[in-house]
Structure 1
Amino acid sequence: MNVASAPAVVIVDAYASSRCLAPLFRARGYDCVHVQSTPDIPQNYLRGYRPEDFSGHVVHHGDLAETLQALSAYRTIALIPGVERAVLLADALSERLGLPSNGTALSPARRDKYLMIETVRAAGVPAVEQLHTADLDELLLWYDKTGGRTVLKPVSSAGSDGVYFCSGPEEITAAFQSLHGTTSVLGQQNEAVLAQEYLVGHEYIVNTVSHGGTHRVSDIWKMHTLSANGVAELAAGAELLPRRGPEQDALVAHTFQILDALGIAYGPAHTELKLTPDGPRLVETGARVCGADVHVPVTAALGTSQLDLTVEACTNPVGFLSAADEDYCVDRHARVVNMVAPRGGVLRSYPRLDDLRALDSFHDVLFRVHPGEPVHPSIDDWTFPLRVYLLHEIAATVARDALTTRYLDGEGFYELA
């Protein structure tokens, strides 16, 4: 077999935000090869996949040796996962190929949310109380002992898929019955559910890129939630924070402990935390780039994004490490606003889109639903019809426009058939 002459970077499941990695690698002179982790691409990822960005395409049919043989045709210098569902396969392939790798020893803890928390706890990092069970009676007994508000969710999923906030045994029973035995957005069977104590405090996101165990922070976000469509805490949006501050310093220190505990020594990671009265607590970590196309406002606000740092770590590790102690600088303030559809139907138009575009800080919009397509009431990360990015040199302008965007949202924003 002839081996390709140009060095190549392999991306497993280059969907969602990771679809934008291949052009960045190619701009540096690297070929990109796509590994599809399953014979079929999930429907919710199909639209964003760009096969034209890849010089090679390998479909994994469950046989690791077969996939490794197919990849032997390329001069692979790095292999990374694109989305959550790709982490296990990427760990196995990179380890077997002798590439920089997080390895497989802790792979389950990087995907199974119960094991993730227990692994972090075992490393001495304070963590949330939780229960992994397939038995409703056991769950209700645990709730009776712990009390208070409880979160139920799949053990392995993505986004806010299947996340329930419960305030009593009736709600817990209903959530358990809604989850148990169903299939997650990643196509995995929910044979058990994960119950966790509800963490009081603001939620944050810390995005990082690592190489050889050295971690760099690419961006930090403060999340905003609202109650809508029967969901107690729906992710309404987020604001980009400066790198430094008392909250950020505590969150970053905690995040680095989590990355070390989970064996994330290489590549991007997306860590969600809550800052409780007792300090930061992990919600979950994904060993992949952040979704929601946040690299769009981040690049405009900071000049570089998690995607750029991922490319730098893979292709120029010396340069990446030499800048490890440098803080990012906010040149423009940024916010993300998720538009919340109040009801379902077939979308005819967005009548107030021009009002949105006229905002002083309007930067871009990501459409998830186009005219002629079905729109659903927004209940999770997968059902927002569009996402708005706001940027401006003045923070107050962005804050005002974020409130105006929320005001524009609602019944009058969607013309439905």
Structure 2
Amino acid sequence: MSVAGSHLVLLLGAGGISPDAALAAARQVTDEVSVVWYGAATPAAVADRLREDWSRAFAGEWLTVEDHLRIPELLEELHRRRPVHGVATFGEPLILVQAEAQQRLGLPGNPPETVRTAQSKSAQRRRLREAGVEEIRFHEITREEDVAAAAAAVGFPAVLKPVHGAASFLVSKVRDEAELRDRVREAFQTYHESPLFDPDPVFLLEQLLIGDAWYEQPGFGDYVSVESLVEDGRITHVAVTDKLPLDGFVETGDVLPTSLSGDRRRQVLDHAGRVIEAMGIRWGATHLELKLTPDGPACIELNARLGGPVGHLVRAVGGADIEADIMRLALGRPIEGHYPAVRYALYRSVPPPAEAVRLIGQTSREALLAAFPELVFCKTRFAPGAELHPDRPYNILTFLVTGQDVRSALAIADRVVDTYTAEFVPLADDAPVPFPAPTR
């Protein structure tokens, strides 16, 4: 499969799709693959096994780095030894250094400033306003003294969120200035205690987007995501992903294909195109979340990468591999995938209790797979004895099911959740915690 201009570098070890899935997708594209492994938190045995699998399939180099900011320099050195023709990654922490490496080496990719905009919720709002795409009210909060100005600029009800965050971490609805002041104080304290994000956080207060009923049948949330591929500015919309209702601000599920009517779907895709163009995305994948409001779709946020479970969903509904197409784009090649939907697929996540707890026991992954042949995959995130903390966003169970229609997929997912049981005790005392967790 090796052709001229086919040396691809994968940046792995910082989230996104699994390294195994990334290597499997790369096999469809080229046999010249180098890996930059950023995996300080990964057990050595796991890294060794991945490296062995890689060595059997590819020509290239395996490089390990502890400081991700060194990656662009590392790739310049690699390029001098073995010319690099493309750089791909799927983890949010590495998309900026990916862009910097692509720029240094003159490879297809987005400018670093475009990626910085995509990673900042306030910069996104500013860009969409400047482009005349949306006029959503927002105000940055860098310290508690900014609360009064933010309240005056945005009004209530509103949403408070980190400018740089993920998985709905510290996102909350606020109803008045007094509640905002309390939430800001708590958010700064929690953010500083969390090991996950920036040492100097900035928060964003923005207008609360009010959803509307866009579906002809019940069971869906009031927002969607749009999955797109961009080749030198040319946008191909791969799918509109329906969402299950939120648990507070925490996502609980995704469904493909969409059940929106044709007219509604066209509204969503038209607006998605305007948002992507306004953000300046030129290459790669985008995952855009849109609120379905009475006045039309409105941007919640855009990610300049593939959304978490999207690759699984796309393969389950029609067999296409969107990760392989992302790697083709990184090499400057056109996409090859066709994205039919021949069945329905539903990805479901189950959050833990909203307090610090210890997991005592749970239904095993093996038992769930045996009970439900419709499961494409199933993952229990933690073993008994694990401590779970609400300031570290994650789910205790994730799974994907398929069905011939959307109602059957929804029904199967509900049965899986009903079958799964877990036992917790709070870290503060040993009284049992009810599960499933109460709605947040």
The answer to whether TM tops 0.5 is yes
Q: 1:368 aligns with which of 381, 397, 401?
A: 381
Paired residue for 1:403? 414
Task: From the superposition, tell whether residues 380 and 296 of structure 1 become closer, same or farther in structure 2 (CA, over 3 Å).
Answer: farther
Q: 2:347 aligns with which of 332, 336, 343?
A: 336
Return the TM-score normalized by structure 2.
0.79
Which amino acid is the alignment partner of residue 307 of structure 1?
A: E
Check whether the contact 1:87–1:111 (CA below 8 A) recurs between aligned residues: no
Superposition pairs of residues 208-223 of structure 1, within 5 angstroms? 208-223=228-243
Superposition pairs of residues 279-298 of structure 1, within 5 angstroms? 279-291=296-308, 293-298=309-314
Task: From the superposition, tell whether residues 141 and 313 of structure 1 become closer, same or farther in structure 2 (CA, over 3 Å).
Answer: closer
1:117-160 deviation line (CA, Å, top 9, x unaligned)? 21122112114211112132432343245332221111112222
Instruction: Tell me how far apart the structure 2 counterparts of residues 70 and 350 of structure 1 sit (CA, whole Å).
Output: 47
Check whether the contact 1:154–1:163 (CA below 8 A) recurs between aligned residues: yes
Q: Structure 1 residue 152 and structure 2 residue 184: aligned?
A: no
Instruction: Tell me how far apart the structure 1 counterparts of residues 210 and 268 of structure 2 sit (CA, whole Å).
Output: 15
Instruction: Tell me how far apart the structure 2 counterparts of residues 265 and 127 of structure 1 sit (CA, whole Å).
Output: 24
Offset at 1:66? 5.2
Offset at 1:384? 0.8
Task: From the superposition, tell whether residues 245 and 376 of structure 1 become closer, same or farther in structure 2 (CA, over 3 Å).
Answer: farther
Which amino acid is the alignment partner of residue 199 of structure 2?
A: Q
Q: 1:122 aligns with which of 122, 130, 137?
A: 130
Check whether the contact 1:351–1:415 (CA below 8 A) recurs between aligned residues: no
Higher share in strand: 1
Instruction: Tell me how far apart the structure 2 counterparts of residues 199 and 47 of structure 1 sit (CA, whole Å).
Output: 43
Superposition pairs of residues 348-367 of structure 1, within 5 angstroms? 348-350=361-363, 354=367, 357-359=370-372, 361-367=374-380
Paired residue for 1:131? 139
Instruction: Tell me how far apart the structure 1 counterparts of residues 51 and 226 of structure 2 sit (CA, whole Å).
Output: 30
The size of the alignment, in residue pairs, is 396
Which amino acid is the alignment partner of residue 12 of structure 1?
A: L
SS in structure 1 at match of 2:85: strand
Instruction: Tell me how far apart the structure 1 counterparts of residues 180 and 9 of structure 2 sit (CA, whole Å).
Output: 42
Q: Structure 1 residue 253 and structure 2 residue 270: aligned?
A: yes
Paired residue for 2:279? 262
Instruction: Tell me how far apart the structure 2 counterparts of residues 351 and 58 of structure 1 sit (CA, whole Å).
Output: 34
Which amino acid is the alignment partner of residue 402 of structure 2?
A: L
1:207-253 deviation line (CA, Å, top 9, x unaligned)? 111111112223321222344xxxx2321112113497223222222
Check whether the contact 2:29–2:328 (CA below 8 A) recurs between aligned residues: no
Instruction: Tell me how far apart the structure 1 counterparts of residues 288 and 68 of structure 2 sit (CA, whole Å).
Output: 30
Q: Structure 1 residue 7 and structure 2 residue 6: aligned?
A: yes
Paired residue for 2:432? none
Q: 1:108 aligns with which of 93, 112, 116?
A: 116
Question: Identity percentage over the alignment?
Answer: 19
Which amino acid is the alignment partner of residue 192 of structure 1?
A: V
SS in structure 2 at match of 1:106: helix
Q: Structure 1 residue 238 and structure 2 residue 234: aligned?
A: no
Offset at 1:345? 1.4
Instruction: Tell me how far apart the structure 2 counterparts of residues 84 and 355 of structure 1 sit (CA, whole Å).
Output: 30
Deviates more, 1:60-69 or 1:160-169: 60-69
1:154-211 deviation line (CA, Å, top 9, x unaligned)? 1112222222222233432232123326346653224321111111111211111111
1:43-65 deviation line (CA, Å, top 9, x unaligned)? 79x97994443742152564544
Task: From the superposition, tell whether residues 128 and 306 of structure 1 become closer, same or farther in structure 2 (CA, over 3 Å).
Answer: farther
Superposition pairs of residues 35-50 of structure 1, within 5 angstroms? 35=36, 41=40, 50=50
Task: From the superposition, tell whether residues 157 and 74 of structure 1 become closer, same or farther in structure 2 (CA, over 3 Å).
Answer: farther
Offset at 1:263? 1.8
Which amino acid is the alignment partner of residue 236 of structure 1?
A: T
Paired residue for 1:304? 320
Instruction: Tell me how far apart the structure 2 counterparts of residues 149 and 33 of structure 1 sit (CA, whole Å).
Output: 49
Instruction: Tell me how far apart the structure 2 counterparts of residues 393 and 65 of structure 1 sit (CA, whole Å).
Output: 49
Superposition pairs of residues 52-91 of structure 1, within 5 angstroms? 52=52, 53=54, 55-59=61-65, 60=67, 62=69, 64-65=72-73, 67-91=75-99
Instruction: Tell me how far apart the structure 2 counterparts of residues 290 and 208 of structure 1 sit (CA, whole Å).
Output: 10
Which amino acid is the alignment partner of residue 348 of structure 1?
A: G
Check whether the contact 2:100–2:112 (CA below 8 A) recurs between aligned residues: yes
Task: From the superposition, tell whether residues 283 and 18 of structure 1 become closer, same or farther in structure 2 (CA, over 3 Å).
Answer: farther
Instruction: Tell me how far apart the structure 2 counterparts of residues 261 and 274 of structure 1 sit (CA, whole Å).
Output: 18
Which amino acid is the alignment partner of residue 284 of structure 2?
A: G
Return the TM-score normalized by structure 1.
0.83
Q: Structure 1 residue 203 and structure 2 residue 223: aligned?
A: yes
Offset at 1:80? 2.4
Instruction: Tell me how far apart the structure 2 counterparts of residues 153 and 267 of structure 1 sit (CA, whole Å).
Output: 26
Instruction: Tell me how far apart the structure 1 counterparts of residues 142 and 207 of structure 2 sit (CA, whole Å).
Output: 17
Gaps (5+ residues) in structure 1? none
Instruction: Tell me how far apart the structure 1 counterparts of residues 232 and 177 of structure 2 sit (CA, whole Å).
Output: 46
Offset at 1:365? 0.8
Gaps (5+ residues) in structure 2? 56-60, 212-221, 426-440
Task: From the superposition, tell whether residues 77 and 244 of structure 1 become closer, same or farther in structure 2 (CA, over 3 Å).
Answer: farther
Instruction: Tell me how far apart the structure 1 counterparts of residues 365 and 377 of structure 2 sit (CA, whole Å).
Output: 15
Instruction: Tell me how far apart the structure 2 counterparts of residues 395 and 380 of structure 1 sit (CA, whole Å).
Output: 34
Instruction: Tell me how far apart the structure 1 counterparts of residues 197 and 341 of structure 2 sit (CA, whole Å).
Output: 38
Task: From the superposition, tell whether residues 287 and 56 of structure 1 become closer, same or farther in structure 2 (CA, over 3 Å).
Answer: same
Instruction: Tell me how far apart the structure 2 counterparts of residues 314 and 193 of structure 1 sit (CA, whole Å).
Output: 33
Instruction: Tell me how far apart the structure 2 counterparts of residues 174 and 190 of structure 1 sit (CA, whole Å).
Output: 19
